[in-house]
Amino acid sequence: MTPFIFSKKKLTCPLVYDTVPLNKPIREMTFIVFDTETTGFRVNAEDRLLEIGAVLVEGKTVKEKLTFQTFSNPNRLISREIAELTGITANDVEQAPSAFEAISAFFDFLGENKADCLAGHYVSFDELVLRSELKRTGYSLKMPPSIDTLNLIGYLAPSYDMRDLERYAQIFGTRMYPRHRAVNDALTTAYLFVELLELLNDRKIDTWGELLRVSGSGGQVP
């Protein structure tokens, strides 16, 4: 089975998650933690992709030197609010690749690093960004299961009810980077992710199958 399925040929980047034995230790797995920046939150309507950032995590180690970053030309104005929030300006994206090209490059990064699985913070939004952009160019994208740090937090600390990445990083005492740039947020998420994996390990959740069970059930173990 190919995790990424498109309605046209090319632009395929298979992750190997579906061939990973469920009893494989998490410490032997390769994750890609990623994040996107956009012109706004209505990405299935008028808003567009601005940037993709990602970092490699091997087992429970963040590989800071193995990162990915690309801008994407949104072909629309960037509001003053978004420019002030992200620091991304029209000059940054004027010569940037299209969303299709940016996502293609990201998928190449996944393949080159033999990633088992994607991870992110509120990752469903980032997946929606990718699907929406590809849909505009006639592609249909089926995403493989991704690990969302929100679900892991929901299992470990169900009393926490918020989505702010910085606040969670503070609570769990993990490394933080300046916010609202894709690579920086990916790095902050990566360090939060590995801390959560350590806490899960303390609860004897240390295999791929157990991680899928926890993260795929919205934080509630069946």
For residue 36, count CB atoms less than 10 angstroms from its CB and return exposed for 0-12, middle for 13-18, buried for 19 or more: buried
Query: Is there a contact between 219 and 153 (Cβ–Cβ < 8 Å)?
Result: yes
Span 46-104, pLDDT tens digits: 999 999 999 999 999 999 999 999 999 999 999 999 999 999 999 999 999 999 999 99
What confidence category does residue 222 fall into, taking pLDDT thresholds of 50, 70 and 90? very low
Span 122-167, pLDDT tens digits: 999 999 999 999 999 988 887 778 999 999 999 999 888 778 999 9
Reading phi first (left if > 0) and then psi (alpha if -120 to 50, else beta), residue 218 is in left
Query: Is there a contact between 20 and 210 (Cβ–Cβ < 8 Å)?
Result: no
Q: Is it the case that residue 173 has pLDDT exceeding 50?
A: yes
220 φ, ψ (degrees, to nearest 5): -110, 125
Contacts (Cβ under 8 Å, ≥6 apart) of 61 = 194
Rounding to the nearest 10 degrees, give the CA dihedral for residues 126, 130, 132, 134.
Answer: 180
Alpha-carbon radius of gyration of the chain: 17
Query: Is there a contact between 121 and 148 (Cβ–Cβ < 8 Å)?
Result: yes
Q: Is 34 helix (H, G, I), strand (E, B) or coil?
A: strand
Tell me how far apart the alpha carbons of residues 72 and 65 are, in angstroms, rounded to a whole number: 22
